[in-house]
Structure 1
Amino acid sequence: MDPVPCATPDDPNPLRRLSLDDLRRRTSMKWRTYPADVLPLWVAEMDVPLPGPVVAAITDAVALGDTGYPAGTAYARALADFARARWHWDGLAVERTAIVPDVMLGIVEVLKLLTGPGDPVVVNCPVYPPFYQFVTHMDRRVVEAPLGADLRIDFASLEGAFRRAVADGGRAAYLLCSPHNPTGTVHGAGELSAVAALAGRYGVRVVADEIHAPVVALDAGFVPYLSVPGAEDGLSLMSASKAWNLAGLKAALALAGPAAADDLARIPEEVGHGPSHVGIIAHTAALRDGGDWLDAVRGGLDDNRRLLARLLAERLPQVRYHPAAGTYLAWLDCRPLGLGDDPAAVFLERGRVALSPGADFGTGGAGHVRLNLATSPELLTEAVRRMAVALS
Structure 2
Amino acid sequence: MQVVADPLAELRDRTSEKWPAFPPDVLPLFVAEMDYPLAEPIAEALIAAVRRSDTGYIGPDDDVQRAFCAFAHRHWDWTVQPDRVTTTTDVSVVIVEALRLVIRPGDGVVINPPVYPPFFDLIPKASGRVVEVPLADEDDRGLRLDLEGIERAFAAGAKAFLLCNPHNPLGLVHSAAELRAVAELADRYGVAVVSDEIHAPLTHSDATFTPYLTVSEAARRHGIAAHSASKAWNLAGLKCALIVTAHDAMAARTATPPKEVEVRTSLFGRIATAAALSSGDEWRAGMLSSVEASRHLLGDLLREQLPDVVFRQPHASFLAWLDFRQLGWGDDPSARALAAKVALVPGTEFGTQGRGFVRLNFACSPEVLTEAIERLATAARTA
Same fold by TM-score greater than 0.5: yes
Structural mapping, 1:68-107, within 5 Å = 68-71=56-59, 72-90=61-79, 92-107=80-95
2:337 corresponds to 1:347: yes
The aligned counterpart of 2:120 is 132
* CA drift at 1:154: 1.3
- 1:241-300 per-position Cα deviation (integer Å, ceiling 9, x unaligned): 000000011001101120412211212211111110111000100110010100111111
The aligned counterpart of 1:278 is 268
- 1:17-46 per-position Cα deviation (integer Å, ceiling 9, x unaligned): 411101111111111111111110010000
The aligned counterpart of 1:7 is none
CA contact (8 A) 2:32 2:361 kept: yes
* CA drift at 1:379: 0.6
From 123, 145, 155, give the equivalent of 1:153: 145
Paired amino acid for 1:300: S
2:17 corresponds to 1:18: no
CA contact (8 A) 1:214 1:243 kept: yes
Paired amino acid for 2:160: A
Measured on the aligned residues, the alpha-carbon RMSD in Å equals 1.1
CA contact (8 A) 1:121 1:165 kept: no
CA contact (8 A) 2:97 2:126 kept: no
Alpha-carbon distance in 1 for matches of 2:52, 2:237: 20
From 9, 14, 21, give the equivalent of 1:33: 21
CA contact (8 A) 1:335 1:367 kept: yes
* CA drift at 1:81: 0.2
Q: Which runs of 5+ in 2 are unaligned?
A: none
Alpha-carbon distance in 1 for matches of 2:42, 2:86: 22
Structure 1 155/384 Cα, relative in aligned 2: closer, same or farther at 3 Å? same
* CA drift at 1:152: 1.4
The aligned counterpart of 2:312 is 322
**SS of equivalent to 1:293:** helix
Paired amino acid for 2:304: E
From 180, 184, 194, give the equivalent of 1:193: 180
The aligned counterpart of 1:207 is 194
From 281, 296, 313, give the equivalent of 2:286: 296
2:56 corresponds to 1:64: no
Task: Output the TM-score relative to the length of structure 2.
Answer: 0.95
Alpha-carbon distance in 2 for matches of 1:81, 1:238: 14
2:245 corresponds to 1:245: no
**SS of equivalent to 1:214:** helix
- 1:298-330 per-position Cα deviation (integer Å, ceiling 9, x unaligned): 111111111111100011101110111111111
**How many positions carry a matched residue from both structures?**
373
Task: Output the TM-score relative to the length of structure 1.
Answer: 0.93
Structural mapping, 1:350-389, within 5 Å = 351-389=340-378
- 1:216-257 per-position Cα deviation (integer Å, ceiling 9, x unaligned): 112322111111112112000100000000001100110112
2:224 corresponds to 1:235: yes
**SS of equivalent to 2:200:** coil
Paired amino acid for 2:274: T
Query: 195-204 or 177-186: which moved more?
Result: 195-204
Q: Which runs of 5+ in 1 are unaligned?
A: 1-11, 167-171
2:209 corresponds to 1:222: yes
CA contact (8 A) 2:203 2:315 kept: yes
From 139, 143, 150, give the equivalent of 2:131: 143
CA contact (8 A) 1:41 1:355 kept: yes
Paired amino acid for 2:166: P
Alpha-carbon distance in 1 for matches of 2:111, 2:5: 37
Structure 1 353/165 Cα, relative in aligned 2: closer, same or farther at 3 Å? farther
Percent identity of equivalent pairs: 49
The aligned counterpart of 1:3 is none
Alpha-carbon distance in 2 for matches of 1:108, 1:140: 10
**SS of equivalent to 1:340:** coil
**SS of equivalent to 1:31:** coil
Over 2 Å off, 4+ runs? 136-139, 163-166
CA contact (8 A) 1:343 1:369 kept: yes
